[in-house]
C-alpha cells in the first residue's frame, strides 16, 4: 500500500503523544492540545492496526497455499479464506484512504448556487444553457435535492442567456462541484437549414453557499437599486419595481434578482448570491496562494478550461479532465450524471492520495 510510510509516521506520532500525555509534568493547556491531536489520529491508527493484522493473516494463508502437499479440500478452504481476507483488506484500505482525506473539502456538505451562462454560439448556446438547467434539475430530483431559481434572463425561443439557481440538500456541493467549467455542445441547431454541425459553449459556476457569519457584508458597502422586472413573469412583475440590483462597492460585484414578485424576496436572494460569490473569490485566492507554495501542483482546479463536450451526432459525452467518453448523451441530459460523478470523484481521490504521500 502506497500510504504505508505516511501511516507509519502517524502511528509513531500517536505513540509519542501517548508517552507525553502520561507525563505528569505536562501543563493542563498543553495536555488538552495533545489530547485533541491524539483523538484526531486515533481512528486512522485503529484502522492501520486492523490492516496490519489482516495483512499478516493474508500472508500466512498465501504462504500456506504454496505448500505442494496440500490436498484438494484444504487448498479450497485456504483459497476461500484468502478471498475473504483480501476483500477485508481492501475494505480497510478504502477506510484508511477516506479517513486520511476526511475534512480536506470543508465545502462538501454545503448548499450551492449555480450560475449557467451562454457563451459562444448565440441562440444555440442559450438553448443549451436551458438543456443544462433541465439536466441539473432532474439530477437534483433524483438525489432528493431542492432547486430554487434566483434569477434568469430567458430568450424568446426557450433558452437562457443566464440562469442562477440554488441547490440545497445533503452534500449538494459534493455532488455538483465537478460541473464547474466550460461545457461545449456540438449539434445541428434547429434553425440551421443546411444541417451543419455547430459548436457552442456554456459556462457553469458552482458556488458553495456561505452563512452571514462567514461573509460579513457591511451595509454601507452596498448600493441597492430597484427597478421593474423584464421578460416573463406576468403583469404584476412588470408593473412594480420588484427587481433588485445590489452592487458591492469594494469589489465591484453586481448581483440582480427579479424572478420573485416581492422586492424583499428578490433582495434576500440577491444577498445569498452575493455572499456566495464573495466566499468563492476568497477561497479561490486562498487556493492560489497555497498552490504557489506547493512544489508540484496536482489538479489545479482551474475552472477556465473546457471540461466536457456533448456531441449529438455521435450521441457521446466526453469529460476531458479524465478522458472518459460515454455513449449515453440523452440519458445524461436527462439528469443521470452518477457515472460521471463517480469517475470524477475517484480521480480526485487518487490525486489527493498522491498529494498525501508527496
Same structural domain for residues 219 and 194? yes
Same structural domain for residues 220 and 321? yes
- State mean pLDDT over 27-31: 84
Q: Which comes out higher in pLDDT, residue 145 or 215?
A: 145
Same structural domain for residues 140 and 11? no
Same structural domain for residues 172 and 88? no
Q: Is residue 83 part of a domain?
A: yes
Spatial separation of the C-alpha atoms in residues 167 and 116, rounded to whole Å = 13
Pick from 38-42, 163-167, 259-263 the range whose average pLDDT is largest.
163-167
297 pLDDT above the threshold of 50? no
Same structural domain for residues 75 and 123? no
302 pLDDT above the threshold of 80? no
Spatial separation of the C-alpha atoms in residues 292 and 295, rounded to whole Å = 8
284 pLDDT above the threshold of 90? no
Domain stops at, among 101, 120, 155: 101
Residues 6 or more apart whose CB falls under 8 angstroms from that of 61 comprise 78, 81, 82, 85
Q: Is residue 296 part of a domain?
A: no
Q: Is residue 19 part of a domain?
A: yes
Spatial separation of the C-alpha atoms in residues 125 and 310, rounded to whole Å = 12
Q: Per the structure block, which three cell numbers stand in for 193? A: 437549414
Nearest to 136 by CA among 333, 323, 356: 333
176 pLDDT above the threshold of 70? yes
Same structural domain for residues 124 and 80? no
- Residue appearing with cell numbers 434547429: 190
- Domains in the chain: how many in total? 2
Nearest to 107 by CA among 170, 164, 171, 165: 171
> Looking at residue 137, what is its pLDDT?
97
> Looking at residue 294, what is its pLDDT?
42
* Strand 181-187, strand 306-311: pairing: parallel
> Looking at residue 182, what is its pLDDT?
95
Q: Is residue 297 part of a domain?
A: no
Spatial separation of the C-alpha atoms in residues 344 and 358, rounded to whole Å = 21
Same structural domain for residues 145 and 229? yes
> Looking at residue 240, what is its pLDDT?
65
Same structural domain for residues 92 and 144? no
Residues in the chain: 358
Which domain range does residue 348 map to? 112-291+303-357
Helix axis angle for 72-101 and 28-64, nearest 10°, is 150
Question: Residue 8's pLDDT band (boundaries 50, 70, 90)?
Answer: very high
Q: Is residue 248 part of a domain?
A: yes
Distance set, CA 322 to CA 176, 308, 317, 345, 351 (Å): 16, 10, 12, 11, 11
> Looking at residue 6, what is its pLDDT?
86
According to DSSP, residue 266 is labeled H
Same structural domain for residues 125 and 226? yes
> Looking at residue 53, what is its pLDDT?
96
> Looking at residue 200, what is its pLDDT?
94
* Sign of the alpha-carbon torsion through 114, 120, 126, 132: negative
> Looking at residue 290, what is its pLDDT?
47
254 pLDDT above the threshold of 50? yes
Q: Per the structure block, which three cell numbers stand in for 122? A: 448565440
Q: What is the mean pLDDT of the chain?
A: 87
Q: Is residue 107 part of a domain?
A: no
- Determine contact, residues 235/181, Cβ cutoff 8 Å: no
Same structural domain for residues 85 and 62? yes
Of the CA atoms within 13 Å of residue 113, those in its CB half-sphere come to: 22
> Looking at residue 292, what is its pLDDT?
57
Q: Is residue 226 part of a domain?
A: yes
233 pLDDT above the threshold of 50? no
185 pLDDT above the threshold of 90? yes
Domain stops at, among 55, 73, 101: 101
Cβ-count burial 68-77 (b if 16+ within 10 Å, e if not): eeeeeeeeee
pTM: 0.70
What CATH number corresponds to the domain at position 353?
A: 3.30.70.1660
Same structural domain for residues 97 and 139? no
> Looking at residue 261, what is its pLDDT?
82
Q: Is residue 73 part of a domain?
A: yes
Could you read off the pLDDT of 103-138 as tens digits, one per residue?
A: 567 788 899 999 999 998 889 999 999 999 999 999
Same structural domain for residues 135 and 74? no
> Looking at residue 357, what is its pLDDT?
63
Could you read off the pLDDT of 325-354 as tens digits, one per residue?
A: 999 999 999 999 999 999 999 898 888 887
How many CB atoms lie under 10 A from the CB of residue 170? Answer: 11
> Looking at residue 239, what is its pLDDT?
55
234 pLDDT above the threshold of 50? no
Spatial separation of the C-alpha atoms in residues 186 and 182, rounded to whole Å = 13
> Looking at residue 52, what is its pLDDT?
95
- State mean pLDDT over 243-262: 90
Lowest-confidence region among 11-15, 60-64, 69-73, 84-88: 69-73
Nearest to 263 by CA among 232, 210, 224, 211: 224
> Looking at residue 69, what is its pLDDT?
87
- State mean pLDDT over 151-158: 89
358 pLDDT above the threshold of 90? no
According to DSSP, residue 207 is labeled E
355 pLDDT above the threshold of 80? no
Distance set, CA 275 to CA 126, 216, 278, 281, 332 (Å): 26, 8, 5, 10, 31
> Looking at residue 236, what is its pLDDT?
43
Domain stops at, among 60, 80, 101: 101
- Determine contact, residues 207/279, Cβ cutoff 8 Å: yes
- State mean pLDDT over 247-272: 90
Spatial separation of the C-alpha atoms in residues 282 and 288, rounded to whole Å = 10
> Looking at residue 245, what is its pLDDT?
92
> Looking at residue 253, what is its pLDDT?
92
99 pLDDT above the threshold of 70? yes
> Looking at residue 258, what is its pLDDT?
87
Amino acid at each position: 500500500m502506497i500510504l504505508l510510510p505516511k501511516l507509519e509516521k502517524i502511528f509513531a506520532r500517536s505513540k509519542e503523544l501517548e508517552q507525553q500525555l502520561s507525563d505528569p509534568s505536562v501543563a493542563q493547556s498543553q495536555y488538552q492540545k495533545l489530547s485533541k491531536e491524539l483523538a484526531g489520529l486515533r481512528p486512522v491508527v485503529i484502522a492501520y492496526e486492523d490492516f496490519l493484522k489482516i495483512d499478516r493473516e493474508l500472508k500466512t494463508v498465501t504462504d500456506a497455499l504454496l505448500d505442494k502437499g496440500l490436498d484438494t479440500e484444504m487448498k479450497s478452504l485456504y483459497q476461500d479464506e484468502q478471498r475473504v481476507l483480501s476483500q477485508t483488506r481492501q475494505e480497510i484500505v478504502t477506510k484508511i484512504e477516506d479517513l486520511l482525506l476526511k475534512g480536506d473539502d470543508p465545502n462538501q456538505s454545503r448548499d450551492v448556487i449555480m450560475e449557467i451562462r451562454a457563451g459562444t454560439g448565440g441562440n444555440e448556446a442559450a438553448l443549451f444553457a436551458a438543456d443544462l438547467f433541465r439536466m441539473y434539475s432532474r439530477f437534483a430530483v433524483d438525489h432528493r435535492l431542492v432547486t430554487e431559481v434566483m434569477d434568469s434572463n430567458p430568450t424568446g425561443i426557450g433558452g437562457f442567456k443566464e440562469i442562477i439557481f440554488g441547490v440545497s440538500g445533503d452534500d449538494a456541493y459534493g455532488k455538483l462541484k465537478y460541473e464547474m467549467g466550460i461545457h461545449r455542445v456540438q449539434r445541428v441547431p434547429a434553425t440551421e437549414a443546411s444541417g451543419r454541425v455547430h459548436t457552442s459553449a456554456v459556462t457553469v459556476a458552482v458556488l458553495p453557499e456561505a452563512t452571514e457569519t462567514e461573509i460579513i457584508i457591511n451595509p454601507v458597502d452596498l448600493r441597492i437599486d430597484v427597478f421593474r422586472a423584464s421578460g416573463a413573469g406576468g403583469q404584476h412583475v412588470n408593473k412594480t419595481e420588484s427587481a433588485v440590483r445590489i452592487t458591492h462597492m469594494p469589489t465591484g460585484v453586481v448581483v440582480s434578482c427579479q424572478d420573485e414578485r416581492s422586492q424583499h424576496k428578490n433582495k434576500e436572494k440577491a444577498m445569498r448570491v452575493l455572499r456566495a460569490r464573495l466566499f468563492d473569490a476568497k477561497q479561490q485566492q486562498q487556493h492560489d496562494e497555497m498552490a504557489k507554495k506547493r512544489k508540484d501542483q496536482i489538479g489545479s482546479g482551474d475552472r477556465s478550461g473546457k471540461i466536457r463536450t456533448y456531441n449529438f451526432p455521435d450521441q457521446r459525452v466526453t469529460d476531458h479532465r479524465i478522458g472518459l467518453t460515454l455513449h449515453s448523451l440523452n440519458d445524461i441530459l436527462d439528469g443521470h450524471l452518477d457515472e460521471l460523478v463517480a469517475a470524477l470523484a475517484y480521480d480526485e481521490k487518487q490525486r489527493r492520495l498522491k498529494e498525501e504521500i508527496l
